[in-house]
Amino acid sequence: MPIEISPSPENPHRFQRRGFSCERAIKYFFASNAGLTLVILLLIIVFLLKEGLGFFPGYRRELEIYRIAGLEFVDISRKNLTAHEQLSSVLNRAYFAQINGQCARELKRSQEAAAVFNAFSDQTSATRELIANHEATGMDRGSEMLATLNNNHACQKQKALDSLPLTPHLSDTERAELIESIRARDVTTVGDPPLVTALAQQYASAQQQCAMPIAEWRSVIDSFEAAGADLSALVTEMTDAVTTTKEAIQNNDILENDRKSLLAAAANAKDPSERQKLMAEARDSLAEKPDIEGPMQSLMLRKPDCIATHAALRQACEGILAMLPPSLSQSDANRLLLAARKASPLFLEALTGTSQQITQWRHDKPVPLSDSIRSFLTGKDWVTGGAWQDFYGILPLLAGSLMISMVALCLAIPAGVGAAIYINQFASPVEQAVVKPVIEFIAAIPSVVLGFIGILIFGTILRDLSQLDGLAWVPGFPIEERLNIFTAGCLLALMSIPTIFSLAEDALNNVPAAFSEASDALGASRIQTTFRVIIPAAFSGILAAVLLGLGRVIGETMVVLLVAGNRIKIPDFSAGLGTFFQPSHTLTGIIAQELGEVPLGSVHYRALFVVGILLFAVVLGINATAHKFVNRTTN
Amino acid sequence: MVTDLTETTSNSETTAIEIRDLSFAYHEKPALHEITLDIPARQITAFIGPSGCGKSTLLRCFNRINDRIPGAHLTAGTIHIHGIEINRPDIDLQELRRRVGMVFQKYNPFKKSIYENVVFSLRLAGIHQRSALDDSAEMALQSAALWDEVKDRLHSSALGLSGGQQQRLCIARAIANQPDILLMDEPCAALDPTATLKIEELLHQLKEQYTIVIVTHNMAQATRCADLTAFLYLGKLIEIGPTLEIFSTPKDPKTLSYISGSFG
């Protein structure tokens, strides 16, 4: 029950508050600081939503144009054409893998000899050309200039000869012979050293020899490639037609928008004459409705043509694919062949289904808003800035982000939590004093600098290592791309280890000493106390540490942009562990890379904001979960 | 400060712990001075004295739990438990602590179920047969007079029990492994009077089987429970004797002034 307050007397009681005290001012100052952070967070959310939510209607209109202009129709055929091209590329790769695998020795010998000679030429050719030029211009043979150049050339030659690359596949005599022939060269010698030429010839003849027994197969591949020609011609022809329609519709959209803003300006204008002028301008800019129906009619006339071409392609391919050899002797080639065998029934099935798809396709089927949301969330393509059609599908980016985080966590959890357990439970005070600051220092390294380390160590050196013959048994080796998911994962692991370590160590530290004392008093050894009492008690804290580490990993931008390889494609999971050595792009990376280049307010610009919203939601979720676990520990 | 009890020592049948000239220090700061004392088997011995007099330090020497504290070390003297010097370098600390159980001032059950708390020491020893664990758990909980209260919820969290129950659970945990000696460091300091009374009743039952050494601040508790009482002051043993004698006819004036409440 509130106490009734009597009107304030002239001289208040000394218990009553008077005026505005300094203490209250200080309190309000701090309250406003705390309030500011809330306001900023609110602003971030509001602006993200404001910019992002406009994406879906815009994208819907793009998808609508995609349909009414007929691009979608052409893409039905184009999809099959791409599948056909991919399949023939796989077959070709298998073919060459087989040949190169069989004459790997010749290939390596030839490459090594050429590498030695190239290393030599790279260092000496500049001076050599200078000398040649001088002689061509008829300079005095005894001139001082020429003497200096000749001297330089000799020095460079010696230096180059001292630092030639290794040649593990050449015998010592061959290497000596090669070096001798290089040493014997003077300024005027042209052509390759005899050994280089000989080895190249050996390689070429070995290639021919290996190709002989599989010549039949070559013709199978060639006929498969040729079978796609009709479809290719058809797609090209239709592409031109629909692109014109699309441009017309887009231009009309732009004019229409202009007209609307003119009308809006006219409605707001105060001066009647001004208004008249704006209205007239708007009337003038009334564009003619572009002709959609005409081109569409002619496109629809191609339907039977399309169906016939597909049926023909299917028939041809079915026969050809049945002639593939059952297996190949080289493991790489065999893997590719198996991939092709696995893909071919799917390809044929897709071809079969196409005719129905083509018959059922209608250009006037409406595109609801939910289509644009679905296309964003489940789209497998993120294609932007292309002449054909932009797609904003989140899956390739999400897959990249998740796989990189997975690699990072797989490495960082054992390292971070393990280090925390060791430092907290087993380390001597000296070790503690050294290791803790060092690990925490890693967090202070700017991520761009870490990126350099990543490119150099995890990228270049790892790739070079993976190409050693002795390491070929490691799954995923040899690595083709220097910058890939694994590289980025390693670096992110390095970045998240300090977070995980510090928080996990805190969690272990917060376990009351009474627990370990009780455990000791019951006769537990150090290891038993650690694993049976301390870690279970700190478990939720450790989990929270891992989650906060994950939040750091998902949100990290600079490192992934530098070292993830930035290829926007869902990784090819058929490669097994090799999947982790493919380049990829991420949610954060795409925003950083593209936001500076897109036109303000365009659909692409808004798409990046939606990616930002998604990222924001994911990190918020992770942090909220982590917070829950932290609370559970402290209670 | 050797008391007149010295002549009754060196009988290992009836003496559980023999302490001779024990001095102890934390870093450079001495905590115990030349303590000589025998603790009889299957009796309750109470250590009393003002805060900081070293009674807990002395108790914690018996299972060498003081080793956990950096800088804590024995400076002189010996402790024999069942005839063996426990500060020898080749002592198996884990085995020693299995033989000498301990209950702490603040009840500290693990964040596990009641059952898992009790069988913790057995699991440490590598016993995994369900039946053996079940039997030991029931035995220990009955000895700790807790069985009837928890038998229906053995697998719920130990932290859901009341303070007194948690402390009795800690006693059950300490005796599940059937130690010879039970050390209790102010076991009732964090409990209310009812719970304290229950623990004291329990002590009377337990002394049939175990040698109990208890540190207490509460002189009434010492008179109620202990057979022998030792008074420590400033790291020295002032006086030890049968509890009734100590409280009725103390020999040392310091003891008299402490038990009459003039300091402490």
CB-CB under 8 Å, A517 with B65: yes
Size of interface A-B (CB pairs under 8 A): 61
Domain range summary for chain A, segments of one domain joined by +: 14-52, 101-206, 407-634
Residues of A with Cβ-Cβ distance to B95 under 8 angstroms: 523
- In chain B, whose CA is at the least distance from the CA of A535? B111
Q: What is the pLDDT of residues A43-96, one digit of tens each?
A: 999 988 988 888 888 888 888 888 888 888 888 888 888 888 888 888 888 888
Is residue B226 domain-resident?
yes
The predicted-structure confidence for B172-227, as pLDDT tens digits, reads as follows 999 898 899 999 998 888 888 888 888 888 888 888 889 999 999 888 889 988 99
Encoding tokens for residue A225? Answer: 């490639």
Identify the domain containing residue B158 by its residue range: 15-259
SS (H, E, C) chain B: CCCHHHHHCCCCCCEEEEEEEEEEEECCEEEEEEEEEEEECCCEEEEECCCCCCHHHHHHHCCCHHHHCCCEEEEEEEEEECCEECCCCCCCHHHHHHHEEEECCCCCCCCCEHHHHHCHHHHHCCCCCHHHHHHHHHHHHHHCCCHHHHCCCCCCEHHHCCHHHHHHHHHHHHHCCCCCEEEEECCCCCCCHHHHHHHHHHHHHHCCCCEEEEECCCHHHHHHHCCEEEEEECCEEEEEEEHHHHHHCCCCHHHHHHHCCCCC
The sign of the torsion formed by the CA atoms of B239, B244, B245, B249 equals: positive
Q: Are B20 and B81 in contact (CB under 8 A)?
A: no
Chain B nearest-CA distance from A430, in A, is 14
CATH number for B50: 3.40.50.300
Using alpha carbons, select from B17, B31, B16 the residue that is nearest to residue B74.
B31
Residue B1 has pLDDT above 80, yes or no: no
In contact, B38 and B17? CB cutoff 8 Å: yes
The structural domain count of chain B equals 1
Q: Is residue B21 part of a domain?
A: yes
Are A521 and B63 a contacting pair at CB < 8 A? yes
User: In this structure, is residue B128 part of a structural domain?
Assistant: yes
- Within 8 A of A521 by CB-CB distance, chain B residues are 63, 65, 97, 101-102, 104, 174
Partner-chain residue, chosen from A517, A536, A537, that has the shortest CB–CB distance to B104: A517
Among all residues of chain B, which has the CA nearest to that of A539? B111
Which of A522, A542, A635 to mutate: most B Cβ within 10 Å? A522
Percent of chain B whose pLDDT exceeds 70: 94
User: What's the burial of A307, exposed, middle or buried (CB within 10 Å: 0-12/13-18/19+)?
Assistant: middle
B203 touches chain A (CB under 8 A): no
How many angstroms separate the CA of residue A514 from the nearest CA in chain B? 6
User: Is residue B1, in this structure, part of any structural domain at all?
Assistant: no
Provide the ipTM.
Answer: 0.86
- Under 8 Å between Cβ of B61 and B74: yes
Residue B2: pLDDT band with limits 50, 70, 90: very low
**Is the pLDDT at B7 greater than 70, yes or no?**
no
The pLDDT confidence band at residue B264, using thresholds 50, 70 and 90, is: low
Q: How does strand B44-48 pair with strand B211-215?
A: parallel
Q: Which of A614, A488, A620 is nearest to A558 (CA)?
A: A488
Residues of chain A with pLDDT under 50: 635
Of all residues in chain A, the one with the smallest CA distance to B98 is: A523
* Res B10: pLDDT: 45
Please answer yes or no on whether B121 and A518 come within 8 Å at the CB atom: no
Per CATH, the homologous superfamily of domain A407-634 is: MetI-like (1.10.3720.10)
A542 contacts on B by Cβ (under 8 Å): none
CA B151 to chain centre: 26
**Would B5 be classed as within a structural domain?**
no
Q: How does pLDDT run across A208-246, given as a tens digit for each residue? A: 888 777 777 788 888 878 877 877 888 888 888 788 888
Nearest CA in chain A to B106: A514
**A527 CB-side CA count, 13 A:** 1
pLDDT at position B169 over 80:
yes
- Judged by a CB distance cut-off of 8 A, whether residue A527 touches chain B is no
Mean pLDDT of chain B: 87
